[in-house]
């Protein structure tokens, strides 16, 4: 579930970066088709890019790489948990998120039902080569894919032609596909204000494109603007349709009167897009600061520590596997590690870090204390890690190899108790900083 939160955060930040660059550089320009392309592509890119992670290995020192297992939390009442004791928090956030996803999914489906009910109630008629549904007079004209919905009281032929021309541009340029994509992605990022900015901005651009298309057909601008004003009081059906009067009329009038974008605006577009791509792609790269094995002719790069006793790998092609899987490992540690009475009486808590090696035969060796907190917690952690049953050994080039793991074990007191870490009193779970080196 942690991966889901990371994905949502990264895609959300990507959306924000793309939209801010659009708002700063492109929103006032009249390159409507280019702006539409930028917005749609940037949304899809933002949701797709975090799914692909590119690792950049950096040759470093032995200490630069830590193969850290999931933290085990031990409490005095023998209740243990993992993932830094934030499971309950993640569960609550996950439930809230999924409820939001469910609500917006139902909202999305309901809008389709609305359109279906209109079609079922009024029927579809063929007129001037268009599929038209003549609705009640209170609905604003709109289009959905290849169907135009019009008031049954529009009798003026010229008015009818202008509206049909406007909606035909929505249909021809397939604006409904944009809105469906945005609605589906809104279900995933419903909590992110930038996805709502995208929806509003894209619908405005659709209207600018339709207005531009109507005027390019030779219709009088004043007459067309008068028609827009007459239609502003119509009721919109929903936001997955291209409503005739969706955008603010004043903004549309301004765009109709604005001169075409100059060469400077083209330059802004050429600068904005690469800048946005550069900023967003930074989120897809992770850095591995590690010791890289020298023999990488045909095999993937591995991480190996050179010792006098022989090579110890921290990353191999096939990592060691605890019998029954990682859940079984966590269960074993929970059931066997006990909060020492000495530590509990002295109010000692903190995180013990233990290192161990899975040998070529799967046995556990080299169990070492990397950082301790005293009060018997260090001995207890070493005792139980030494008891771990044999793993399935790690494999490199199809052969068993020695593989090292580092395991954090958090000894956590119940709330309200004073905590002592390495002999220093503190009221925080965060250990004090180490003393300065002399």
325 and 372 fall within a common domain: yes
Q: Quick check: pTM over 0.75?
A: no
How would you class 38 by CB atoms within 10 Å of its CB: exposed for 0-12, middle for 13-18, buried for 19 or more?
A: buried
Asked if residue 388 lies in contact with residue 382, where contact means CB atoms within 8 angstroms, the answer is no
Nearest by Cα to 414 from 93, 77, 100, 44: 77
The answer to the question of residue 72 being in a domain is no
Do 14 and 135 lie in one domain? The reply is yes
Please answer whether residues 313 and 360 qualify as being in contact, where contact means their C-beta atoms are separated by less than 8 angstroms. Answer: no
Same domain, 272 and 316: no
Residues 45 and 192 in one domain: yes
**Where residue 79 falls among pLDDT bands split at 50, 70, 90?**
very low
* Domain assignment present for 71: no
- Domain holding 377, by residue range, is 302-426
Q: What is the mean pLDDT of residues 243-262?
A: 65
Mean pLDDT calculated for residue range 127-156: 82
Task: Please indicate, yes or no, if residue 361 is contained in any of the structural domains.
Answer: yes
Give CA–CA dist 408/82, Å, rounded.
10
For residue 101, is it within any domain? yes
* Domain membership flag for residue 316: yes
Residue with structure tokens 């010791």?
291
pLDDT at 408: 92
Are 243 and 321 in the same domain?
no
pLDDT at 28 over 90: no
CA distance 107 to 113: 10
Residue 158 domain-assigned (yes or no): yes
Same domain, 199 and 256: yes
Give me the CATH number covering residue 353: 3.30.2420.10
Side-by-side strand order, sheet with 125-127? 125-127, 130-135, 147-151, 142-144, 242-243
Are both 161 and 260 inside the same structural domain? Answer: yes
| 240: pLDDT strictly greater than 90 | no
Tell whether 166 and 211 lie within a shared domain: yes
198 and 256 together in one domain: yes
pLDDT band at residue 6, thresholds of 50, 70 and 90?
Answer: confident
Q: pLDDT at position 236, please? A: 60
Q: Is 31's pLDDT higher than 60?
A: yes
How many domains is the chain built from? 2
- Considering only 69-78, 158-167, 323-332, which range has the smallest mean pLDDT? 69-78
Q: What is the pLDDT of residues 384-432, one digit of tens each?
A: 999 999 999 999 888 999 999 999 999 988 654 444 444 443 433 434 4
| 40 and 164 assigned to the same domain | yes
The answer to whether residue 393 sits within a structural domain is: yes
Query: Does any domain span residue 436?
Result: no
Average pLDDT over residues 61-76: 65
Last residue of a domain, one of 247, 281, 315: 281
322-337 tens-digit pLDDT: 998 888 998 899 889 9
3-state DSSP call for residue 407? strand
Is there a single domain that holds both residue 412 and residue 321? Answer: yes
- Tokens 């827009």, residue? 228
Average pLDDT, the chain: 78
Query: How would residue 261 be classed by pLDDT, with cut points 50, 70 and 90?
Result: low
Same domain, yes or no: 380 and 255? no
């Amino acid at each position: 579930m942690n991966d889901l939160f990371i994905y949502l955060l990264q895609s959300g930040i990507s959306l924000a970066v793309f939209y801010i660059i659009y708002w700063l550089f492109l929103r006032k320009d009249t390159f409507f088709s280019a702006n539409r392309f930028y917005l749609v592509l940037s949304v899809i890119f933002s949701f797709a890019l975090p799914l692909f992670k590119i690792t950049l290995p950096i040759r470093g020192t032995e200490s630069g790489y830590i193969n850290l297992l999931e933290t085990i939390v031990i409490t005095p009442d023998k209740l243990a948990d993992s993932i830094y004791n934030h499971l309950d928090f993640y569960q609550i956030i996950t439930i809230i998120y999924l409820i939001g996803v469910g609500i917006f999914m139902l909202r999305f489906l309901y809008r389709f039902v609305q359109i279906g009910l209109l079609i079922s109630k009024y029927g579809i008629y063929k007129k001037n080569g268009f599929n038209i549904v003549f609705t009640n007079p209170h609905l604003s004209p709109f289009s959905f894919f290849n169907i135009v919905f019009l008031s049954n009281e529009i009798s003026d032929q010229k008015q009818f032609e202008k509206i049909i021309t406007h909606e035909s541009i929505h249909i021809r340029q397939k604006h409904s596909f944009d809105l469906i994509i945005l609605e589906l992605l809104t279900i995933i990022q419903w909590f992110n204000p930038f996805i709502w900015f995208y929806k509003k901005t894209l619908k405005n651009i659709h209207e600018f494109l339709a207005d531009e298309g109507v005027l390019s057909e030779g219709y009088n601008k004043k007459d067309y603007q008068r028609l827009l004003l007459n239609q502003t009081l119509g009721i919109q059906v929903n936001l997955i349709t291209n409503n005739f009067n969706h955008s603010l009329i004043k903004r549309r009038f301004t765009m109709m009167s604005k001169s075409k974008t100059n060469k400077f605006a083209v330059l802004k577009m050429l600068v904005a897009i690469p800048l946005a791509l550069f900023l967003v792609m930074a989120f897809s790269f992770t850095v591995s600061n590690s010791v890289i094995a020298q023999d990488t002719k045909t095999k993937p790069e591995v991480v190996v520590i050179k010792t006098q006793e022989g090579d110890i790998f921290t990353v191999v092609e096939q990592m060691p596997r605890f019998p029954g899987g990682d859940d079984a490992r966590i269960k074993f540690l929970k059931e066997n590690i006990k909060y020492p009475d000495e530590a509990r009486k002295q109010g000692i808590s903190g995180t013990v870090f233990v290192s161990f090696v899975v040998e070529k035969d799967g046995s556990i060796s080299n169990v070492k204390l990397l950082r301790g907190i005293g009060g018997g917690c260090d001995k207890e952690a070493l005792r139980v890690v030494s008891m771990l049953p044999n793993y399935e050994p790690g494999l490199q080039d199809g052969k068993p190899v020695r593989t090292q793991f580092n395991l954090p074990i958090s000894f956590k007191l119940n709330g309200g108790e004073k905590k002592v870490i390495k002999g220093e009193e503190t009221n925080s779970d965060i250990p004090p900083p180490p003393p300065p080196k002399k």
